[in-house]
Amino acid sequence: MNGGSKRSLGIFKKNSELQTVVTITVLFVAAVLLYQVVNSLVTRGFVEYPSFIYPSNLFNILQQNAAVGIMALGMTVIMLTGTIDLSVGMMTSLVAIFIAKAVMDWDVPPGMAIFYALLICVGIEMFMGFIIAWLNVESFIITLGGMIACRGIALLISNSQEVAMRQNLAWFKSNVFDLFNPEGIKVFNLKLNLPYYVILFFILTVITWAILKYTKFGRRVYAIGNNPQAAFLSGINVKLTRLMAFVFNGVCVAVGATMQLVRVNTGIITVGQNMEIDVIAAVVIGGVAMSGGKGSVMGAFIGAILMGTITNAMTIMRIQQEWQFLVKGLIIIAAVAAGAVSEMFRHRSAMRRKRTGVADTAAKA
């Protein structure tokens, strides 16, 4: 049997989506480094260490993508069961507005506000999951409805206005390095900042990975995503498993949304706008099949970070927002297309192997 280390590296093997995006990321990193080197040579006359690979910038990338990453964990589970959840972006806005409103206007302690937000998310996801699983309807449509409804609730609560917070959730932003040295740790004269919520992202990734790999629930998720009919006849409660996946996603959305609020500090409808796109993109380029049953959480984790890296590189190169959208869109298309093409080749070679295998045994007999 293969060793553990070999297996965790194996995530890149047979995962053409990730391979493609890694390749593209490498290109972007090379481009941004070249850009910065040439830029410093032209303006200052000497080669400067590129700020893109300052440790502080790398930590920046993690900060910028932790919330999306956390939500990608839940989305991975959802998509592995063969469904999808479009409502996560607007639910993020709802959570952000709810917590901000609760803390600022209704005098709820921040801890309790977060807890209530968690209940709300789990409740909404349970509702949608129940309808999707028991009535066996298209998750795309139901969660689209959920997305619009969440937007409505969020706007109602906030009277369509933004709710600014006064650093009530600042604890989540505390720098891990301050624990070791209150002065902070500096590299290249820039203070390294690794907030607690990034650590939370790592921890949740490991937990989700373990759930999918080492629990009965994980087996069931993969099984129903691959073949719901066979799963049902093999004794798996398909409906309950689907519902559980939505509940798990609710927890991830609540946590991710809270972390997003921590960063922006304002409860406003735009907090989560289009966030579902980033989340689904991360999961898809991480190699999770839209049809379900294939892919892993580590893929989604890496997918989120790679997309973040590319965005960061483009920002440093002063590429306009509009162009960034275009590039990101093309990357997703390229990744999924590459996945489909390599799947085709693999299928073909498998068939060939199968045929020659049959011929072998026939020849022996």
**Does residue 350 interact with another protein by CB under 8 A?**
yes
Q: Write out 67-120 in H/E/C secondary structure.
A: HHHHHHHHHHHHHHCCCCCCCHHHHHHHHHHHHHHHHHCCCCCHHHHHHHHHHH
3-state class (DSSP) for residue 243: helix
Q: For residue 6, which phi and psi values (nearest 5 degrees)?
A: -60, -40
C-alpha span between 312 and 28 (Å, rounded) = 10
Q: CB under 8 A: which stretch of 44-52, 72-80, 185-193, 220-228 binds another protein?
A: 220-228
Query: Helices 88-104 and 110-134: crossing angle, nearest 10°?
Result: 150
C-alpha span between 29 and 312 (Å, rounded) = 10
Residues 173-202 that bind another protein (CB under 8 A): none
The residue (of 266 and 342) whose beta carbon lies closer to another protein is 342
Q: Which two tokens stand for residue 234?
A: 């093999």
**Does residue 3 interact with another protein by CB under 8 A?**
no
The residue (of 179 and 362) whose beta carbon lies closer to another protein is 362
Residue 66 near residue 259, CB atoms below 8 Å? yes
**Does residue 5 interact with another protein by CB under 8 A?**
no
The residue (of 186 and 354) whose beta carbon lies closer to another protein is 354
The residue (of 186 and 216) whose beta carbon lies closer to another protein is 216
Residue from 231, 245, 282, 335 touching another protein (CB under 8 A): that is: 231
The residue (of 218 and 256) whose beta carbon lies closer to another protein is 218
**Does residue 215 interact with another protein by CB under 8 A?**
yes
Residue 24 near residue 330, CB atoms below 8 Å? no
Residue from 135, 179, 363, 365 touching another protein (CB under 8 A): that is: 365
The residue (of 82 and 267) whose beta carbon lies closer to another protein is 82
Residues 237-276 that bind another protein (CB under 8 A): 237
The residue (of 2 and 167) whose beta carbon lies closer to another protein is 2
**Does residue 217 interact with another protein by CB under 8 A?**
yes
The contact pattern for another protein, residues 283-322, with x = CB under 8 A and - = no contact, is ----------xx----------------------------
Going by the DSSP 8-state scheme, the letter that residue 175 receives in this structure is B
Please name the amino acid found at residue 95.
Answer: V
What is the number of other CB atoms lying within 10 angstroms of the CB of residue 106? 9
Q: Which helix (H) or strand (E) holds 230?
A: helix 228-233
Chain contacts with another protein (rule: CB under 8 A): 1-2, 213-220, 222-223, 226-227, 229-237, 293-294, 347, 350, 353-355, 357-358, 361-362, 365
